[in-house]
Structure 1
Amino acid sequence: MSATVYTHSASETISLGKKIGRLLKGGDIIAFKGGMGMGKTTITHGIAMGMGLRDDVSSPTFALVNEYSGDGALTLYHFDMYRISGADELESIGFYDYLSDDCAAVIEWSENIADELPPDAIVIQIEKTGENDRKITISGGDRFDGIGN
């Protein structure tokens, strides 16, 4: 199943992220697809807010992973796989150690590790359709059906 939502501003993209964040469960992995400047970090900001996390969200480009946590909320791990290209590199950065049922993960540049993603990953494809306009397609479970309403 998949849902497609069109957003027309960063605030609308954050609002969509909040809706996604409220639906996440422990063990969920979100695999983002979309080029530079598509809004992956912006939607992640909304996801963190929807999960009840109040940390500032920033792109983990140089750190590879940022951790966001809060009282009573799932921990969110935010990965950037732009420079990663396979299982050996994932192992060396400890990627698999982060994944558990008491956290959720979002992965930017998931295309670079597509063969290592679990089959039940939630895939979010972001396409730019205008200066501030995005087409966002969410695949991976019926709980996201109707999310744009």
Structure 2
Amino acid sequence: MIKRKTKSPVETQEFAAEFSARLRPGDLVALIGDLGAGKTHFVQGLAAGFSVPEKIYVRSPSFALINEYLGGRLPLYHFDFYRLSDPSETEGLGMEEYFYGEGVTAVEWADHFPELIPASAYWVEFKILGDREREITITGKDDVIPSE
């Protein structure tokens, strides 16, 4: 388990960029937390850590359901389950191809449908401590995440 407090969106992005060095093709990062807790900022940090070109704007795919960020060390696939009310609404997205493919997948609001998330996922939980302060807890991979 990794636990970190951040005091700004930039610190959240920096933490995610640092964490991205641990990620490998086929890894999934399941993001959970209240609205405005920092999930999208974390994905922006993952993209920065993968050296996704800065001209590619990383935003939540609330309406598109998935955004692909290519051109970095690894492809980054960004899902958002916020607007979905039933797991069947994900049919036809080819999630398995993304989840087990050559890139890393980040899923915002993963707790809406935990049954869709592989057991091997990293879970990233965001708690709002103050206006800009967050506590971010990462678990997964058998809760053993060795330091590098």
Same fold (TM over 0.5): yes
Describe the superposition over 1:96-139 as per-residue Cα deviations: whole angstroms up to 9, x where unpaired.
Answer: 23223311100001011101111111000000000000000000
Which residues in structure 2 correspond to 1:54-69 (within 5 Å)? 54=53, 55-69=56-70
Residue segments in structure 1 that go unaligned for 5+ positions in a row? none
- Identity over the aligned pairs, expressed in percent? 34
- Structure with the bigger percentage of helix: 1
Is contact 1:68–1:75 with CA below 8 Å preserved after alignment? yes
Tell me how far 1:51 sits from its aligned partner. Answer: 1.2
Instruction: Please tell me whether the aligned partners of residues 80 and 109 of structure 1 are also in contact (alpha carbons under 8 angstroms).
Output: yes
- Deviating above 4 A after TM superposition, structure 1's stretches of 4 or more consecutive aligned residues are none
> Mean alpha-carbon deviation: is it higher for 80-89 or for 115-124?
80-89
Distance in 2 (alpha carbons) for counterparts of 1:85 and 1:30:
21
Residue segments in structure 2 that go unaligned for 5+ positions in a row: none
Cα RMSD for the two superposed structures? 1.6
Report the secondary structure of 2:21's partner residue.
Answer: helix
Contact 1:27/1:103 (8 A) holds in 2: yes
Shift of residue 57, structure 1, vs aligned partner: 0.6
Work out whether 1:11 is the aligned partner of 2:10. yes
Q: TM-score, normalised by structure 1?
A: 0.89
Contact 1:24 1:51 in 2 (8 A): no
What is the match of residue 112 of structure 1?
112
1-side partners of 2:29 and 2:86: how far apart?
18
Q: Report what 2:51 is aligned to.
A: 52
Q: Offset at 1:146?
A: 5.0
Instruction: Summarize the alignment of residues 76-95 of structure 1 with structure 2, pairs less than 5 Å apart.
Output: 76-95=76-95
The number of residues matched between the two structures is: 144
Could you list the per-position Cα deviations for residues 56-91 of structure 1 after superposition, in whole angstroms to 9, with x for gaps in the alignment? 2111111111100115x2110000001224442222
Deviation at 1:34, TM superposition (A): 0.3
Mapping 1:123-138, distance limit 5 Å: 123-138=123-138
**3-state SS of the aligned residue for 1:124?**
strand
